[in-house]
Amino acid sequence: MMSQQYTPPKVWQWNAENGGQFASINRPVSGATHDKVLPKGKQPLQLYSLATPNGVKVNIMLEELLAAGHSGAEYDAWLISIKDGDQFGSGFVGVNPNSKIPALLDTTNGVRVFESGSILLYLAEKFGAFLPKDIAKRTEVLNWLFWQMGSAPFVGGGFGHFYAYAPEKYEYPINRYAMETKRQLDVLDKQLAKHEFVAGDEYSIADMAIWPWYGGIALNRAYNAAEFLDTQSYKHLMRWAKQIDQRPAVKRGYIVNRNFGDGPLLPERHSSDDFAQFNL
C-alpha cells in the first residue's frame, strides 16, 4: 500500500530532487546544457550510445551486418555516459534533439538517425539485410518492430523503474506494471510457440529489437526480476532468448559501449580487432 495520499497541484512544478536512480539527469526541458563536440573516427558509421537495451539493439545489427559481409557497416562506437549528462552536450543534441541514446551519423551521406527502431530500419534498408523484401513478410517484421517500440516503455519506464530504481517500493505501480510486463511476455511466448523467430522463420531486425529487452528480462539480465516475473514459465520465449544469445554477433554487440555490470566490457569499439582480447 502507498504510505500517503497524493493530491496533484493545480500546476505541476519540477522538483529536481525527486529521488531515485537517474533522477539527476531527468528534466522537463530539451536542448543542450553545455558545448561538447562529438568525436569522430575513420569508419563510415559513427555510433554514439550506451549498452542499455535500446543501445544493444543497434550494436547487434551492426555486428550482424559485418558478419554477413557488409563491410560498409564498419563503425566507431563512442560511449555516451547518460549518468554524466553526455546526452545533453551540443554535439549529441545535434545528432539527436531528443537527447536519448542511441544516435547514428552516416558519414557517407551526412544522414543522422535517431530512435533505435529508426536506426534498425535505416540500416536494414541501406544494406538490404534482415528485412524481407516480400511485402507480407516485411510487414510482419515491422509489426513486431513497432510493437517493441510501443510496448517497452511500459517495461522499462514502468516496471523497471518502480521495481528496481524508484527510491521507495510501492505495491500499486509494481503490480500494475508487472501485470503488463507479464502480458507482453505471454504475447511473445505464444508467437514463438508457432515460429522459430519473432516474425516468422527468418531472423530479422524484429529479433534484434526485442531480444535486448525481453530476452534480457528472461535471462535475468535486467532488473534482477526473472524470478519475480517467473520467466522460466514462458518456455518458448526462453528457447528463443537462449538461441539468440548464442549468436556470435549478438555476443559481440552485447558488450559494445558497455561500461557497467559483469563480464566483458568494451566501452568503445573502433574495429573488429577490438574483440580479440575477449573469449567470446
pLDDT digits (tens, 9 = 90+) for 155-165: 999 999 999 99
Predicted pLDDT at 147? 98
What span, in angstroms and rounded, lies between the C-alpha atoms of 204 and 234? 21
* Surface-to-core class of residue 254, CB atoms within 10 Å of its CB (0-12 exposed, 13-18 middle, 19+ buried): buried
Predicted pLDDT at 23? 64
Q: Classify 186 as helix, strand or coil.
A: helix
Give every CB contact of residue 169 below 8 A, 6+ residues apart in sequence.
Answer: 162, 163
Is residue 1 pLDDT above 60, yes or no?
no
| Candidate from 24-38, 74-88, 210-224 with smallest mean pLDDT | 24-38
Confidence of residue 77 (pLDDT cuts 50, 70, 90): very high
Residue identified by cell 559494445 is 256
For residue 66, the surrounding DSSP H or E stretch is helix 53-67
Predicted pLDDT at 3? 57
pTM for the model:
0.95
Residue in 124, 78, 121 with CA at minimum distance from that of residue 101: 78
Predicted pLDDT at 246? 98
What span, in angstroms and rounded, lies between the C-alpha atoms of 52 and 185? 19
Confidence of residue 21 (pLDDT cuts 50, 70, 90): low
Tell me the mean pLDDT in the region 99-125: 98
